[in-house]
Chains A and B, each alone.
Chain A
């Protein structure tokens, strides 16, 4: 079990540029979550998917943010255009809920530290 894999680990970009963060969930997990962590706002849920379908994107701060999950093993979070206030650590996490089971714990990736200058 390789765990949740995020890339890149660090991203430094200039304001106005497009940023794409990537996530590979644990195989067999049917829920995928994107979080943003800042000192001011803590750990915020941005969006989550169930079986590759976005279920709740109410945490996405603006239309500049978008997320996709084209298949069970890959998800992206895109910011276009990026702004300095988007600087934060972005975490991806996954878990298995399934049917008629107690499911599995939530597992986090190591995060992507984004700096927008």
Chain B
């Protein structure tokens, strides 16, 4: 299956700062999801994105399938953005990378 590498593994921000999270893949992907795992452990779907860019409020995601990467942008971060962010290529076997743990401090 496709290998997923996420960076950075940990990120600490001050509230209001912007950040970029990255996923690299071992092969090109046709479809991709970004998830946020909140401090209560729930895994929430953020984006379902085949290619190009999608935006949802302060968050946006860009996937360049041919270059084998995807980026998640968080602007004007808030403490509620804290948690772990995962990306996963949408294949029959949905496997995940190690995630990026984001901590936003007030």
Contact surface of A with B, Cβ cutoff 8 Å: 31, 33, 35, 42-43, 45, 48, 50, 55-56, 89, 91, 93, 95, 97, 102-108, 110-111, 113
Contact = CB atoms under 8 A, between A and B. Distances in A.
A2 to B, nearest CB: 15
Contacts, number: 52
Q: What bracket does the count of chain B residues touching chain A fall in?
A: 20 to 34
Interface of B: 31, 33, 35, 41-43, 45, 48, 50, 86, 88, 90, 92-99
A70 to B, nearest CB: 21
B41 A48 contact: no
A106 B93 contact: no
Contact of A91 (B43, B50, B93, B97): B43
Q: Looking at chain A's contact residues, is the secondary structure mostly helix, strand, loop, or mixed?
A: strand
Contact of B94 (A33, A104, A110, A113): A33
21 contacts: A42-B97, A43-B96, A43-B99, A45-B94, A48-B93, A48-B94, A50-B92, A55-B93, A56-B93, A93-B43, A93-B94, A105-B33, A105-B45, A106-B45, A106-B88, A106-B94, A107-B45, A108-B35, A108-B42, A108-B43, A111-B43
